[in-house]
Amino acid sequence: MFTSGRPITLLLLCLLGSATSSPVSIHTPAPPLPSQILHPSTTVLPSPPSPTVLPSPPSPTLSVSEVGCPLTMSPSALVVRFGDPVAANCSTTGFAPLGWEVELAAPELTMDRSLVWRVDRMTKWSITPSCYVFSEEGGQCHIHLPLTVYKPPDNVFFSVVNHTGPMIEGHQYTLQCAVQDVAPVENLIVTFYRGPTVLGRLQPNNNTEKTPVTEVFTLNITSSKEDDGVQYWCEAKLELGPEGPQQPPVVTSHKLTATVLFGPQLVCPTKLQVKEGESLSCEVRGNPRPLVTWFRDGQVVALPTHSSREHAGKYTISAKGLLGQRFCTVEVEVLAGSGTTNSFNRHFLLAVLLIWTIIWL
């Protein structure tokens, strides 16, 4: 207990002074907005996650067909024989540096507007050169050079599969054309010939091999008597398009002369009229040449070289060949006359010579 009221009075004055200099602030919350007032049945959904920011992808490589890639290739495509030199020029009008991407003799990058790729001797079968530049944005654009490396075949061989010697009329045979070491085989066209006549043109089936290969082609034929003595052969041609040689590489095989056995065949009318003095004859065909025999009344007869009325009558003709025998019957009628046409011609010539002799005398 304090004995004097003075200290209490001073303490109260200090408390009152603090309250006056630092008034107490009372915070009253603002009334909620209508959108913040929740209905009792409303479910509060969680806030969606913030989107993930991915890093920017690298600048794409642009092809020459896209806008803003001013590259030019000259020539635009190349066809070169294996072992020959080759060169192409790539030029640009806006970007730098300029370079070639190629596995054979690639030149160094340049800040020039053109760059030549040159090879003294092409030694790659499959190669895809491309020229490229870097854009100001940091991307890359490029242009490809279509390049075909070719090699004509070493040899072309023609044969008949599983057969030697003569053919037989009406039988089927398989002609074969073997093309040795040719590239690219997908550009190969093989043509079979019967004399000057084209029998068929063939190409490989889905063979995209770029290195030299040997390819065999076959063609079926049915022989006929008209084939006897004709020549069969084949040729191999590389069709390389407008960029290729003006004269496409062509290699031909040897020619095989066909011998066709056929017959015998008899070509005779049922009634044969001849003049007196003419010989009797009937057309016979076959290979080998058939043996022809004339029969009259069942007896073998010799054909008269100068027929007469007594040679008229019915005859049977036999033609016998390697592949069979044929018969035909013919009625011979001998007409009155003065001999054959050949006899008439001889008489006419004799008359002309006689007249000239009289004139010169």
Q: What are 244-266's pLDDT values in tens digits?
A: 999 999 999 999 999 999 989 88
- CATH number listed for the domain at residues 263-335: 2.60.40.10
pLDDT for the residue 138: 63
Round the CA-based radius of gyration of the chain to a whole number and report it: 53
- CATH number listed for the domain at residues 71-149: 2.60.40.10
pLDDT for the residue 322: 87
Domains 155-258 and 263-335 share a fold: yes
Per-residue confidence of the chain (361 residues) as pLDDT tens digits? 334 443 333 333 333 343 334 333 334 344 443 334 334 343 444 444 444 443 434 444 444 444 467 889 999 999 999 999 999 999 988 767 899 999 999 999 999 999 999 999 999 999 999 999 876 666 788 899 999 999 999 999 999 999 999 999 999 999 999 999 999 999 999 999 999 999 999 999 888 999 999 999 999 999 999 999 999 999 999 999 999 999 999 999 999 999 999 989 888 888 988 898 888 888 899 999 999 999 998 899 988 888 888 899 999 999 999 889 999 999 999 998 754 444 444 454 466 556 656 665 5
Q: Look at the pTM and tell me if it is higher than 0.75.
A: no
pLDDT digits (tens, 9 = 90+) for 53-85: 434 344 444 444 444 678 899 999 999 999 999
For the chain, give every domain's residue range.
71-149, 155-258, 263-335
CB 266 within 8 A of CB 292: no
- CATH number listed for the domain at residues 155-258: 2.60.40.10
pLDDT for the residue 359: 60
pLDDT for the residue 24: 36
pLDDT for the residue 93: 83
pLDDT for the residue 23: 39
